[in-house]
Structure 1
Amino acid sequence: MKVIIAGASAIGSYLAKLLSRNDYDITILDEDEAALEQLNRDYDLLTLDRKCTSPRALRDAGAAKADLFIAVTADQTANLTACTMAHALGAKKTVAKVDDPEYTEQIDKAFFKEMGIDSVIYPEMLAAKDIINGLKMSWVRQRWDVHNGELVMLGIKLREGCEILNQPLKDISGPDDPYHIVAIKRGADTIIPGGNDSLKLYDLAYFMTTRNYIPYIRKIVGKEHYADVKNVMIMGGGNTAVRAVKMMPEYMNVKVLEKNKNRCEELNEILDEDTLVINGDGRDMSLLVEEGIRNTQAFVALTPNAETNILACLTAKRMGVRKTVAMVENVDYVSMAESLDIGTVINKKITTASYIYQMLLDTNVYNIRFLPTADADVAEFIPAEGSKITRKPVKDLGLPTGITIGGLVRDEKGMLVSGNTQIQAGDSVVIFAHKMDLKNLERLFK
């Protein structure tokens, strides 16, 4: 499969790293010679020091034979133009990164499709959705919904109050129980558990359940005393913060701390009048106390500096805040941030790459999420009529090692999967894949 990436920084370099491990034919276009040299040293791919809006450069890169053309430069106009040109040259699918949320509106999708742009992505919007999902459930590290929550995956850090520790999973999570443990992150290891495995203190456990049983999960993991989030404090007033505030549920009150006075004035113009914008440094403990940090249930650090965000969240936790969210743009810091127990970690590169990756798959697949801390991916596949996965009960499918079927949605109703479950064409099937390229699973669903 041939993939062309326009843009060698941030998202582009992460995608190159991700795809080069899976034998894709990758070409990267950029005018940053140093960035291209670094990618050439580290990965097996072709680089071109050329402008992505040059017709000749696109031809030389092989746009006519590209299965996917990805434009993720810092220039929104260049991304849109390059995708239109690549499509005209013969690229099968194109995706452009944009910086204006207006371009992501449903009404404009047909318009961009006519231009030859199959999808537009606004990373700040994707990150904001993850932030809001995290705030809605203060006791959960990660949440992933299928069909508006008919089926839910919850990543939960297990602490002393958990009542299901140190028991074989076959005794606490059988076919008739309302949840499955699809994976366990323990220290540096990810475990795809069997019936004889058990949960340990401080594990990050991934539960698959249905909407009705979320309160039950909360009880058995000992998180009922966690206060629901009503007051939120955000450090950093960038675009991700703006999108998160605009998506905030009405029952949440939010304060934004921003160091730059001019940006504060802009935020007062952009945000609703009931959002309080404060000119100050979110690392200033006296300011935090003055602004009510001790009565705040959630602290969200969204500055451009990962170290600042991590330290700010650690400070907020020391001051009694239960729920903290840190934006960590350096992928290498993500695991470290998790190990420091700061709470939910947001990385726009990983979130955006998850969205783009599903365009590489031929089958009906949706909602791919990369879970770097677990070295795993989660995806929602829809099997075709007569596909291999529909021919036998789950226990007889011979699934590859590292693969777990967490559950499925049938006729708009979520259900868990046991060994006797017979998957049907049209089901939405949730797959948890540890150290396996999702591309290799397509054969089961075609």
Structure 2
Amino acid sequence: MRIVIAGAGEVGIFLAGLLSKERKDIVVIDTNEDRLHSINEKYDVLTVLGSATSIKILEEAQVKGSYIFIAATHYEHVNIVAASLAKKIGARRTIARVDNLEYIVSKNKRYFKSLGIDTLINPDKLAVDEIVMMIRQSASNEVFEFSKGDLTLFATRLNEKSQVIGKNLTESLKLYNEFEYRAILIVRDEKTFIPRHHDIFQINDIVYAVSSRKGLDSLMKISGQEKVKIDDVMIFGGSKIGELTAKKLEQHFNVKLVEKDKNRCMELSEILDKTLIINADARDTLTLKQENIAKMDVFISVTESSETNIFASILAQRQKVPKTITEVENIDFIEISKDLNIEGIINKKLIAASLITRYLIDADILSIKMLNTANADIIEVIARQGSIITKKPLAELDLPKSFIIGGVIRNNTSFIARGSTFIRPGDICVVLVLSDFIYTIEEFF
């Protein structure tokens, strides 16, 4: 399976590294020789020096017959032209990264289809959607909804208030005598594992669970978390993500946006209607106190610097802000952030890679989310007619320990999966799979 990536920037390099682990045939195109040299030193990929808008370069990269072409340069006009040419030359599927939100409006996508572009990705928009979802489920550090919220992935760090500390999986389910949620993953220190019946929950475990609507309140109670009533939100950073987040939230909450660049503050004042724009540096504790950060319900840090975002969120946590959301684009810093108890992490590269990976698996995938603080992915997949997963009840199938089915959506009805659950063709399954084994989904679904 040949995959061609145009652009050796942050997103392109991340995708190349991720996909090369799967022993795919990866080709990377870029105009910068130093970037290509750097990527060659790190990963087993082929590189082509030149512009992705050159037909000669695309032919040299063997775009014809490639499984997928990903245009991920910093320039959307380059991405659009490159993806369109790649389709004409013979790429099976094309994906282009764009910045203009107008392009991803549903009614406008047909224009790009006519150009040969199958999928458009706007990483900023995807990040904002995830931030808004986190705020809606304020007790969770990471959240993902399925079937319009009928099933929800809920992630939280267990504290001393948690009722499951010292209990195993079976005992925790008996606390409320219901089966409306299921723990599907535990992150403990450097270890990520799918819990079995004998595994005991410990303080500081990061636990991922799938829950029905009915089970969310019970799940929050046993995990020691409380849903925060949100009225006041502070955003640090007037980046595109900060701007879009403020635009979405200002209709429902009292929003303050702190930006240190005066000119950017002037621009934002023309764009945002109800958000209070403050020209200051949120890394200054005195500034935060003057702006009543202690009274904020949510602090969102989305500057262009991962280090600055982490530092600002630590300051917010020290001021007892109930919920922080932090953009951490440096992958190496995610583990550090986890050690510092930085919760609610956003990473645009992981979000974009999740969407792209959906098209690389030979199964009927509806959605994929690469988890920010765990080496695992949550997948929404349709069980095909005749697939192994439909042959017997789950408990009787010889399923690998690398994945677990958390919930099922059948004919608009959702329920938590159990050992006695018999998956039917057409069922939508919510599956947690360890990242290194993501392609095992193909064998069973």
Please indicate, yes or no, whether the TM-score normalized by the shorter chain is above 0.5.
yes
Q: Quick check: 2:184–2:406 contact (8 Å CA) kept in 1?
A: yes
Q: Which residue is 1:223 aligned to?
A: 225
Q: Which residue is 2:335 aligned to?
A: 335
CA distance in 1, matches of 2:250, 2:365: 29
Secondary structure of the corresponding residue to residue 373 of structure 1: coil
Q: Quick check: 2:180–2:215 contact (8 Å CA) kept in 1?
A: yes
Shift of 1:249: 7.0
Render the CA deviation track for 1:357-382: whole Å, top value 9, x for unaligned. Answer: 11212321022011242111111000
Q: Quick check: 1:153–1:208 contact (8 Å CA) kept in 2?
A: yes
- Cα RMSD (Å): 1.4
CA distance in 1, matches of 2:47, 2:189: 37
Secondary structure of the corresponding residue to residue 17 of structure 1: helix
Shift of the 157–265 alpha-carbon distance from structure 1 to 2, 3 Å rule, reads same
Give ranges in structure 1 of 5+ residues lacking alignment.
none
Q: Quick check: 1:155–1:205 contact (8 Å CA) kept in 2?
A: yes
- Counterpart selection for 1:182 from 172, 179, 184: 184
Give ranges in structure 2 of 5+ residues lacking alignment.
none
Shift of 1:396: 2.0
Q: Quick check: 1:22–1:437 contact (8 Å CA) kept in 2?
A: no
Secondary structure of the corresponding residue to residue 287 of structure 1: helix
Shift of the 339–441 alpha-carbon distance from structure 1 to 2, 3 Å rule, reads same
Q: Which residue is 1:196 aligned to?
A: 198
* 2:368 is the alignment partner of 1:368: yes
Render the CA deviation track for 1:378-432: whole Å, top value 9, x for unaligned. Answer: 1100012222211111112211222111111111121011111111111110111
Render the CA deviation track for 1:198-256: whole Å, top value 9, x for unaligned. Answer: 111110001111012211111222223x5322211001001011121222274321110
CA distance in 2, matches of 1:87, 1:218: 48
Q: Which aligned pairs between 1:54-65 and structure 2 lie closer than 5 A?
A: 54-65=54-65
Aligned length: 443
Render the CA deviation track for 1:248-271: whole Å, top value 9, x for unaligned. Answer: 274321110011111111101111
CA distance in 1, matches of 2:374, 2:173: 21
Render the CA deviation track for 1:145-186: whole Å, top value 9, x for unaligned. Answer: 111111111011111111111112122227952211101111
Q: Which residue is 1:264 aligned to?
A: 265
CA distance in 2, matches of 1:413, 1:335: 37
CA distance in 2, matches of 1:311, 1:176: 41
Q: Which residue is 1:438 aligned to?
A: 438
Q: Quick check: 2:164–2:223 contact (8 Å CA) kept in 1?
A: yes
Secondary structure of the corresponding residue to residue 425 of structure 1: coil
Q: Which aligned pairs between 1:230-379 and structure 2 lie closer than 5 A?
A: 230-248=231-249, 250-272=251-273, 274-379=274-379
Render the CA deviation track for 1:306-331: whole Å, top value 9, x for unaligned. Answer: 11111110001111111111111111
Q: Quick check: 1:163–1:220 contact (8 Å CA) kept in 2?
A: yes
Secondary structure of the corresponding residue to residue 29 of structure 2: strand
Quick one: percent identity of the two aligned structures? Answer: 36
Render the CA deviation track for 1:72-123: whole Å, top value 9, x for unaligned. Answer: 0001000000000000001000000001111110001222111100000000
Q: Which residue is 1:383 aligned to?
A: 383
Q: Which residue is 1:207 aligned to?
A: 209
Q: Which aligned pairs between 1:386-401 and structure 2 lie closer than 5 A?
A: 386-401=386-401
Secondary structure of the corresponding residue to residue 148 of structure 1: helix
Shift of 1:141: 0.5
Q: Which aligned pairs between 1:12-161 and structure 2 lie closer than 5 A?
A: 12-161=12-161
Q: Quick check: 1:283–1:312 contact (8 Å CA) kept in 2?
A: yes
CA distance in 2, matches of 1:334, 1:424: 38
Letter in 2 for 1:89: I
TM-score by length of 2: 0.97
Deviates more, 1:128-137 or 1:62-71: 128-137
CA distance in 2, matches of 1:88, 1:102: 24
Shift of the 250–308 alpha-carbon distance from structure 1 to 2, 3 Å rule, reads same
CA distance in 1, matches of 2:434, 2:362: 20
TM-score by length of 1: 0.97
